[in-house]
């Protein structure tokens, strides 16, 4: 099934921040943010066991349990199993992203892309979310940023394990669709080259933003568009730096990124638009983009995202962005 057919709109909500990414978020603040998303009409929610060792799923489940199941689309992920035993969240080995969920639940997590672990992960997610089905399941973080030189080993485990299990669940109607949810282009490119199993789409985080899109444009997106495979864009604000934050790639933004954002902000101000509008609308302009899923931890941010998607951005802004070398010559721009 194509994601454009399954998804209810072009704006979804990414719940990674609600797993206590970067800081401990009070439960009432998390619930107010989720309620704001619902009240603003957001009906696609993406989560994962990894986000705070199940914390984001539990928080999301509290909201969705009060809504009719057919009124929203839900995606979560497999590849990590959350255990009952505990560990120090701040000491977890997370490749390039150490300490990302240092304030999450202390439950131990293990990387496992096998068939049995995939089935267990799906079952555990259903319990935490308090729902009877998942619409989309992504195979999570099967890439270099988390697994280094071992990523191809994990990919092969997933190819013969998670990929086949999820294909079977899709064919049986248990889930609506499946694909990869990653922060790198290479795993998706490799998957698109496979004869089987065939995914329905992908969640690509941080690799099709105003600040980072060259690599995705080289091979991934042309191939995906040619095969009719849709993409959900995660991390459209590049970990927050495009939305007024200080993080890029989940770390403190380096000087060259800060300067690039300054130039984009200056250009946006000259045309009387918000950087958020430029960021979201750019990520959605590619024919392969089905939806964008910014995250948030404060209710006010949701209204900003909704407004940004509807904001009228003049063609002159995009022309100046291109002329200033702030966007690739190969990138499709909003009409």
> Which residues are tagged catalytic?
46, 51, 77
- Using only C-alpha atoms, what is the Rg of the chain? 19
What is the C-alpha separation between 134 and 119, in angstroms, rounded? 12
Instruction: Report residue 5 as tokens.
Output: 């057919």
Instruction: Report residue 130 as tokens.
Output: 């308090």
- Give the closest residue to 244 by CA, choosing from 230, 272, 264: 264
- Is 55:16 a contact under the CB 8 Å cutoff? no
- Is 81:122 a contact under the CB 8 Å cutoff? no
Q: How far is CA 211 from the centre of its chain?
A: 16
Helix, strand, coil % in the chain, rounded to nearest 5: 45, 20, 35
Q: 303: buried, middle or exposed (CB in 10 Å: 19+, 13-18, 0-12)?
A: middle
């Amino acid at each position: 099934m194509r994601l454009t057919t399954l998804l209810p709109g072009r704006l979804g909500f990414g719940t990674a921040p609600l797993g206590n990414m970067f800081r401990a978020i009070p439960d009432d603040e998390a619930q107010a943010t989720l309620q704001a998303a619902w009240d603003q009409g957001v009906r696609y929610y993406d989560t994962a066991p990894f986000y705070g060792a199940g914390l984001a799923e539990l928080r999301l489940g509290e909201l969705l349990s009060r809504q009719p199941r057919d009124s929203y689309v839900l995606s979560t992920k497999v590849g990590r199993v959350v255990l009952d035993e505990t560990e120090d969240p701040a000491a977890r080995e997370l490749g390039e992203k150490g300490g990302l969920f240092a304030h999450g639940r202390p439950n131990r997590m293990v990387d496992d892309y096998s068939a049995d672990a995939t089935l267990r992960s799906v079952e555990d997610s259903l319990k935490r979310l308090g729902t009877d089905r998942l619409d989309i399941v992504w195979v999570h973080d099967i890439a270099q940023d988390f697994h280094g030189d071992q990523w191809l080993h994990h990919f092969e485990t997933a190819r013969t394990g998670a990929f086949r299990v999820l294909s079977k669940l899709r064919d049986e109607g248990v889930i609506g669709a499946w694909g990869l949810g990653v922060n790198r282009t290479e795993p998706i490119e490799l998957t698109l080259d496979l004869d089987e199993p065939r995914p329905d789409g992908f969640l690509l985080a941080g690799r099709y933003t105003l600040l980072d899109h060259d690599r995705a444009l080289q091979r991934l997106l042309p191939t995906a568009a040619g095969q009719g495979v849709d993409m959900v864009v995660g991390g459209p604000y590049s970990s927050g730096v495009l939305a007024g934050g200080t993080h890029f790639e989940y770390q403190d933004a380096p000087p060259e990124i800060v300067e690039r954002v300054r130039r984009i902000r200056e250009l946006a101000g000259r045309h009387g638009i918000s950087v958020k509008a430029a960021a979201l609308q750019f990520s959605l302009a590619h024919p392969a983009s089905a939806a964008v899923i910014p995250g948030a931890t404060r209710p006010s941010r949701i209204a900003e995202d909704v407004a940004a998607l509807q904001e009228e951005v003049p063609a002159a802004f995009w022309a100046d962005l291109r002329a200033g070398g702030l966007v690739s010559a190969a990138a499709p721009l909003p009409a």
